[in-house]
Amino acid sequence: MADELDALASIPVPESYRGVTVHADEVDMFEGVPHKEKDPRRSLHLDEVRTPELGPGEALVAVMASAINYNTVWTSIFEPVPTFGFLRRYGRTSPLAARHDQPFHVVGSDLAGVVLRTGPGVNNWKPGDEVVAHCLSVELEHPDGHGDTMMDPEQRIWGFETNYGGLAEIALVKTNQLMPKPAHLSWEEAAAPGLVNSTAYRQLVSANGAAMKQGDVVLIWGASGGLGSYATQFALNGGAIPVCVVSSKEKAEICRRMGAELIIDRAAEGYRFWKDEHTQDPGEWKRFGARIRELTGGEDPDIVFEHPGKETFGASVYVARKGGTIVTCASTSGYMHQYDNRYLWMSLKRIIGSHFANYREAYQANRLIAKGKIHPTLSKVYPLAETGQAALDVHHNSHQGKVGVLCLAPEEGLGVRDHELRARHLDAINRFRGV
């Protein structure tokens, strides 16, 4: 706070810190409770945690701010499986990794903060550096990870499949997760894009994903949500034509404010792709496809940006253009998808699986934020002690864009270095605020 960042190297690292955790002895607490009623406020705790020992190639970071991702919702409701299994398996891989196998799990896969200490073998980062961290944790001891680091057999999502995540005052990261903090953003704004921005970049822009090009029609589910609010910006920024699907007037309005023109309010138009639990309704796929054509002047999507999963996947495969791509990174509404394969093979469509991003892709995505080409979509910010409520907002889909969390930052708006760049983009940076 005194802006004496050089002094950090000589100040002792605290032996413990406050972090948001789930507890291994509570994984059954929601047994028999319906999905929507599982309440993260009951399962997420703010605990004093011992600062982990620092290993080679790692850093301890003072976390100024973090953000809620859907993976913290999954962890907090212990669905589809409790995350302690990930920590146990990781812990078995080496004595150093055994630090992660604890009866508590400090969650969170985003951070903006300041490096406190680096471990042996770290040359690119030092105490005092202002950073954001992406959430790809890799070991890279196996040849498979050396083409695309997402292919490392020991690839994990930090703060979800590893311990000591970002919803805390201190976090443990590998230094190949670190990237420069965008200078024109506050701590909470800088922490917000991280995971979803990198994921949307690989999924939509990268050659490892859909390799979007200018002029492509891109159907974006949840276009004002975490992933979707970045996918929409990438589409617009890259000269593509987004067709944004949302579920309210307010969400439609925010897509318009990002610059999108073609918007479908799925709630107002009442699409029901499933007649009952087992039967889809192709008539509804057709109605949806006809609506897309009405908006685009007769064109079908070159790319469908998928993540709702079971509920929408049949429709997504149906509406993609001949030769088009359905690129999926999630299954929020259920992971056993059903679609009519005739529409896939006869029309030569492709389904691509995508997951987070490699370091290079995450770096490129963060670079676009730092240059003011893509903007954070932060709507609301909670203090660390209210992380449970923040996760509940996302669980109940009552949020817009990203929900932020202040960790060590005592208030919002701190950490801005480049006021000139900020002034140029202030409206865009604040687009989602208070909606």
Ligand X SMILES: NC(=O)c1ccc[n+]([C@@H]2O[C@H](COP(=O)([O-])OP(=O)(O)OC[C@H]3O[C@@H](n4cnc5c(N)ncnc54)[C@H](OP(=O)(O)O)[C@@H]3O)[C@@H](O)[C@H]2O)c1
Q: How far is the CB of 417 from ligand X (least distance, A)?
A: 28
Among 20, 22, 112, 196, which residue sits at the site for ligand X (rule: CB under 6 A)? 196
Among 134, 184, 266, 375, which residue sits at the site for ligand X (rule: CB under 6 A)? 266
Centre a 10 Å sphere on the Cβ of residue 42 and count the other Cβ atoms it contains. 15
Name which of 224 and 233 has its Cβ closer to ligand X.
Answer: 224
By CB under 6 A, the residues from 45 to 84 that bind ligand X are 69-71
The DSSP-derived string for 359-428 is HHHHHHHHHHHHTTSS---EEEEEEGGGHHHHHHHHHTT---SEEEEESS-SSTT-----HHHHHHHHHH
The contacts of residue 285 (CB under 8 Å, 6+ apart) are: 273, 314, 315, 318, 319
d(CA 281, CA 286): 9
255 is a contact residue toward ligand X (CB under 6 A): no
Closest CA to 317 of 332, 334, 337: 337
329 is a contact residue toward ligand X (CB under 6 A): yes
307 is a contact residue toward ligand X (CB under 6 A): yes
Helical (H) or strand (E) element with 42:
helix 40-43
Name which of 186 and 332 has its Cβ closer to ligand X.
Answer: 332
Q: How far is the CB of 221 from ligand X (least distance, A)?
A: 5
Tokens matching residue 68: 């809620």
Tokens matching residue 259: 């610059």
Name which of 187 and 230 has its Cβ closer to ligand X.
Answer: 230
Among 20, 115, 171, 246, which residue sits at the site for ligand X (rule: CB under 6 A)? 246
Strand 303-306 versus strand 136-137 pairing type:
unpaired
Listed ranges 36-44, 138-146, 177-185, 217-225: which one lies at the site for ligand X (CB under 6 A):
217-225
Name which of 17 and 382 has its Cβ closer to ligand X.
Answer: 382
Q: How far is the CB of 222 from ligand X (least distance, A)?
A: 2
d(CA 215, CA 230): 18
Residues at the interface with ligand X (CB under 6 A): 69-71, 195-196, 199, 221-222, 224-228, 245-247, 251, 266, 307-308, 311-312, 329-330, 332-333, 355-356, 394, 397
